[in-house]
Amino acid sequence: MSGYLLIVNVGSTSIKSRLFTTDLQTDAALTADYGTAVGLAVEGRDIHGEPVEQYIAEAHDTSSALAVVLNQWRLMIAANSLPLAAIGHRIVHGAGWFDTVTPITANVLERLEQLDHYAPLHNPFNRLGVIIAAGFFPDVRQFALFDTAFHRSIPEYAGRYAIPSRLSEKVDFYRYGFHGISCRHSLSAAAELLACDPSGLNLIVLHLGGGASATAIRAGLSIDTSMGFSPTEGLMMAGRCGDLDPMIMLALQREGMTPEQLDDLLNHQSGLLGICGDTDMRSILQKAGQDDATAMLAIDMYCYRIKKYIGAYCAILGEVSALVFTGGIGEHAPLIRDKILTGLDRLGFVMDRQANLRQMSQNSDISDAGSRSRILVIHAEEERVCAQQILNFLDETSDHEPRG
């Protein structure tokens, strides 16, 4: 395949996008933050390595922010006469329908729309990225890459919920799992750091960002993960509650809360925000350093829940090759890593505290020499994984095309 690959990763408050060559070099990147009422900030670098900075002093929703970013790409690509071969989109939820790179058609978009209620903070925005990109680049092939695909290897006894099957004609209640693209990168990056084949690794991957998850990987395959039917289950997150007794929701419903209010409570008003009124771990750590009681409680709860999942996954994996920290908090919050790992030496995780405090510009091993399992910090590269998967897909399909 010749030409460039544009990867678009749309979140509920930000857009990340990168332009790759066929040898997976990043030639340009644009990031947009639109999740405030203040304005839209776009920054990155262009095809010549020059910085891009744009600020629009008015609030933008997802649609208008995407229009700004994709128009920037259209102008940059046209000005430099770049052949754009494909556009890839990270799609959070693919249910049981999609487990590989999928060329986007009208039928695929229609099926994806049916999954909006499965992941309401993500899938509608992901679909919007596809639709708006088609308007700017009508002749360019588009592909969907699914967070849920990596977790299709989870066995049924770990994926099923203990409720009757066929409860709904519209929804299949199952543990689909998320952050799969990030987990896939963590697996390959860990294999490179440890100089071994991915199929020989047992990993616990902690993707800690605004959303947070823990995943158990045995012999290179996902066998369990903390997020389930939706990204709301599992660890405590920025605004999501994580694991919760379901009877709490029934009690609140009986007190008069509507489904919409419950949805907002679970996904936007809970987690770190619900405990200490803040979602930014940097400021929460700063407040905790000033003896703010609610900030300290939020950190204690956050790290405690992660420790419980580490213990559970050690039990099901047996030997653990490495514990991986990735995502914004996992990569950049040494105090959180330290608090999570304190006391886990009995499970074989012993950290080099000096290594943990270093600024890490590349993937790093922060284990003590005597640690039975390695402790790795791996920078999330979801866009690169998407580009690699598209290249692999196009290479495989071209091999099967009839030759004249």
Could you give the dihedral angle defined by the CA atoms of residues 283, 285, 291 and 292, in that order, rounded to the nearest 10 degrees?
50
Compute the mean pLDDT over every residue in the chain, rounded to the nearest whole number.
93
Residue 70 contacts residue 124 (beta carbons within 8 Å)? no
The residue-averaged pLDDT of 144-153 equals 96
DSSP state of 177: -
Q: Provide the pLDDT for residue 37.
A: 62
Cα–Cα distance, 217 to 225 (Å, whole number): 9
Per-residue CA distances from 63 to 59, 101, 240, 264, 384 (Å): 11, 24, 24, 21, 24
Superfamily of segment(s) 4-146? ATPase, nucleotide binding domain (3.30.420.40)
Cα–Cα distance, 216 to 311 (Å, whole number): 11
Give the domain ranges of the chain: 4-146, 195-382
The residue-averaged pLDDT of 375-380 equals 96
Q: Is the pLDDT of residue 399 over 60?
A: no
Which pairing describes strands 322-326 and 203-208: parallel, antiparallel, or unpaired? parallel
Which residues 6+ apart lie within 8 Å of 290 measured at CB? none
The CA angle 231-177-366, to the nearest 5 degrees, is 95
170, with CB counted inside 10 A (0-12, 13-18, 19+), is exposed
**Phi, psi torsion values for 246, nearest 5 degrees:** -65, -20
Six-digit token string for 163: 């409720």
Q: Provide the pLDDT for residue 153.
A: 96
Please tell me if the domain spanning 4-146 has the same topology as the one spanning 195-382. yes
Q: How confident is the model at residue 35 (pLDDT cuts 50, 70, 90)?
A: low
Mutual angle of helices 123-136 and 62-79, in 10-degree steps: 40
The one catalytic residue among 23, 46, 61, 147 = 147
Superfamily of segment(s) 195-382? ATPase, nucleotide binding domain (3.30.420.40)
Q: What is the model's pTM?
A: 0.92
Q: Rounded to 5, what percent of the chain is helix, strand, coil?
A: 40, 20, 40
Q: Is 331 helix (H, G, I), strand (E, B) or coil?
A: helix
The helix or strand, by DSSP H or E, that contains position 69, with its residue range, turns out to be: helix 62-79
Q: Is the pLDDT of residue 403 over 50?
A: no
The residue-averaged pLDDT of 211-233 equals 96
Dump the DSSP string for 129-183. Answer: HHHHHHHH-TTSEEEEEETTGGGGGS-HHHH--SS-S---SS-------S-HHHH
**Residues 105-135 pLDDT 10s:** 999 999 999 888 888 778 999 999 999 999 9
CA atoms within 13 A on the CB side of 31: 8
Sheet order of strands, 40-45 included:
51-56, 40-45, 26-33, 14-20, 4-10, 84-91, 141-146, 102-103
Q: Provide the pLDDT for residue 80.
A: 93
Q: Is 79 helix (H, G, I), strand (E, B) or coil?
A: helix
Residue 2 contacts residue 391 (beta carbons within 8 Å)? no
- Using alpha carbons, select from 107, 109, 91 the residue that is nearest to residue 99: 91
Q: How confident is the model at residue 401 (pLDDT cuts 50, 70, 90)?
A: low
**Residues 293-333 pLDDT 10s:** 999 999 999 999 999 999 999 999 999 999 999 999 999 99
23 as an active site residue: the answer is no
